[in-house]
């Protein structure tokens, strides 16, 4: 195998893929089991050339790929594995570092500390918090709740009925009872609730269905009074805070105990990359530190394995560093502003068509709306089956609504216009 020649081919493949992704059907149309049925059931006895892997990727796997890097991917939260991040992933694999303790690769730990500090500056968060990178917001929230439990074992975790399912999973995992709090008319967590037995309260800045923003300042007050840990889930909307005009969304968060933000959602970083900050790192340490003999080190240095569930840690800081450097604050702001502008434009089209209505306020780049008389779930199935776009549905007050989430760096006004045309055509 020639690494250089195969590498050149793989890079060409990636470049052509990104250049041509717009022409592909966004959503894979295969049925469960279709892809597996095409693949040999047992591993090869003899080495195969890398070219065979690329060929099968093209011919067998691509029909079963949903193209998350497609400019008309508007489902869930639209994301971008941007080019600096893609290249840095290649370099990360080449280095194959395991950053479990400082001494297993000092540059990985120190770069991680640098990029989480850069990110805190970009989002206007306190710079004196501890921060580190986890794989996903699910893991970051598990870590935050495990830390909270060291301070107050046995209480409950409260979160809005619109909190992401990962919060309930995390509460279950750390053995804390999970209680949901109703939302107000704008899908924000209500604050007229007794939180006195809370071990932790999870506020969401950018809920998954509507991107509503829970009232963090009021929740901070309640948690400070009752002695509960306040964890903020800003997995998606944290990115908006790179723009000063969206900083309001993080108001009060400087007084939270922990906050998670996913650069792999709306900050152009390939999966996976989730940053967890906390102003109480000693509680994370109490939950996770362990020093078996085989990992003792001489140096007085930060060992990040002591602050989260995993021992083995990928060198994720490299791709985040590449993304932040190669876009710069100005580049990130331009992308986020562009997405918010497109969402606002789409919102005006919906609002001015009597057959359609908006279903929730739009704080950022995600629009919730519905057709007034059609079966919205069926309409979305028809629209997605065209291959021209991918939108998802959610339910608000038991009614299906359509979500259009704009977050891909290549999405243009024409893409959003085309999505609106396809949706209108699909309404019949
Ligand atoms: C608000 C919010 N929090 C957490 C998550 C879970 O993120 P992850 O997939 O990184 O665990 C999501 C996923 O969409 C989300 O929307």
Give 141-154 pLDDT, tens digit per residue: 999 999 999 999 99
Residue 104 has pLDDT above 80, yes or no: yes
Q: What is the mean pLDDT of residues 116-141?
A: 98
Give the rounded percent of residues in the chain with a pLDDT score beyond 70.
100
Torsion of CA 325, 326, 332, 338, to 10 degrees: 170
Average pLDDT over residues 167-189: 98
pLDDT in tens, 277-322: 999 999 999 999 988 877 777 788 999 999 999 999 999 999 999 9
Distance CA 177, CA 153 (A): 11
Q: State the distance from the centre of ligand 1 to the C-alpha of 167, rounded, in angstroms.
A: 9
- Among residues 262, 242, 46, which one has the least CA distance to residue 138? 262
pLDDT of residue 1: 62
Q: What average pLDDT score do residues 252-276 get?
A: 98
Concatenate the DSSP letters of all residues of 307-362 into one string.
Answer: GSS-SS---THHHHHHHHHHHHHHHHHHHHHHHHHHHHHHHHHHHT-TTEEE-S--
- Pick from 236, 237, 275, 316 the residue to mutate for probing ligand 1's pocket: most ligand atoms within 8 Å of its CB: 236
- CA 405 to ligand 1 centroid distance, Å: 14
Model confidence over 189-212: pLDDT tens digits? 999 999 999 999 999 999 999 999
Position in ligand 1 atom list of the atom nearest CA 163: 1
User: What is the pLDDT averaged over residues 404-428?
Assistant: 97
For ligand 1, the distance from its centroid to the CA atom of residue 150, given in whole angstroms, is 24
Please check whether residue 138 is in contact with residue 166, taking contact to mean a CB–CB distance below 8 angstroms: yes
Helix, strand, or coil (residue 47): coil
| pLDDT (average), residues 56-80 | 97
pTM for this entry: 0.97
User: What structural domains and CATH numbers belong to the chain?
Assistant: 86-324 (3.40.640.10)
pLDDT band at 406 (very low <50, low <70, confident <90, very high): very high
Q: Please report, rounded to a whole number, the percentage of residues in the chain having pLDDT higher than 90.
A: 97
Average pLDDT, the chain: 97
């Amino acid at each position: 195998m020639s690494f250089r020649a195969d590498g050149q081919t793989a890079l060409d493949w990636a470049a052509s893929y990104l250049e041509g992704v717009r022409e592909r059907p966004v959503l894979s149309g295969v049925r469960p089991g279709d892809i597996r049925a095409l693949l040999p059931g047992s591993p090869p006895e003899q080495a195969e050339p890398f070219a065979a892997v690329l060929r099968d990727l093209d011919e067998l796997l691509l029909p079963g790929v949903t193209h998350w890097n497609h400019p008309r991917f508007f489902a869930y939260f639209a994301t971008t594995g941007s080019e600096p991040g893609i290249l840095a992933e290649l370099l990360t694999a080449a280095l194959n570092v395991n950053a479990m303790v400082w001494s297993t690769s000092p540059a990985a730990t120190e770069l991680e500390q640098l990029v989480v500090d850069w990110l805190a500056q970009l989002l206007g968060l306190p710079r004196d918090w501890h921060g580190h990178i986890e794989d996903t917001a699910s893991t970051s929230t598990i870590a935050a709740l495990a830390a909270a439990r060291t301070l107050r074992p046995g209480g409950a975790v409260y979160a809005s009925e619109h909190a992401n399912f990962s919060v309930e999973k995390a509460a279950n995992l750390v053995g804390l009872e999970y209680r949901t709090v109703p939302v107000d008319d704008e899908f924000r967590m209500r604050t007229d609730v007794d939180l006195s037995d809370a071990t932790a309260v999870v506020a969401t800045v950018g809920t998954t269905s509507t991107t509503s923003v829970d009232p963090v300042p009021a929740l901070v007050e309640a948690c400070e009074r009752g002695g509960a840990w306040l964890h903020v889930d800003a997995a998606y909307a944290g990115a908006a805070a790179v723009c000063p005009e969206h900083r309001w969304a993080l108001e009060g968060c400087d007084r939270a105990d922990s906050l998670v933000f996913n650069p792999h959602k709306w900050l152009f970083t390939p999966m996976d990359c989730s940053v967890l900050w906390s102003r109480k790192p000693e509680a994370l340490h109490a939950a996770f530190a362990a020093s078996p003999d085989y990992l003792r080190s001489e140096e007085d240095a930060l060992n990040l394995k002591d602050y989260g569930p995993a021992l083995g840690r990928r060198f994720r800081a490299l791709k985040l560093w590449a993304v932040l450097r190669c876009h710069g604050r100005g580049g990130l702001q331009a992308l986020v502003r562009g997405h918010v502008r497109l969402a606002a434009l789409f919102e005006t089209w919906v609002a001015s068509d009597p057959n359609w209505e908006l279903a929730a306020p739009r704080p950022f780049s995600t629009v919730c709306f519905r057709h007034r008389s059609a079966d919205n779930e069926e309409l979305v199935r028809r629209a997605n089956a065209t291959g021209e776009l991918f939108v998802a549905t959610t339910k608000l007050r038991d009614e299906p609504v359509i979500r259009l989430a704009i977050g891909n760096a290549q999405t243009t006004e024409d893409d959003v216009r085309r999505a609106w045309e396809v949706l209108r055509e699909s309404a019949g």
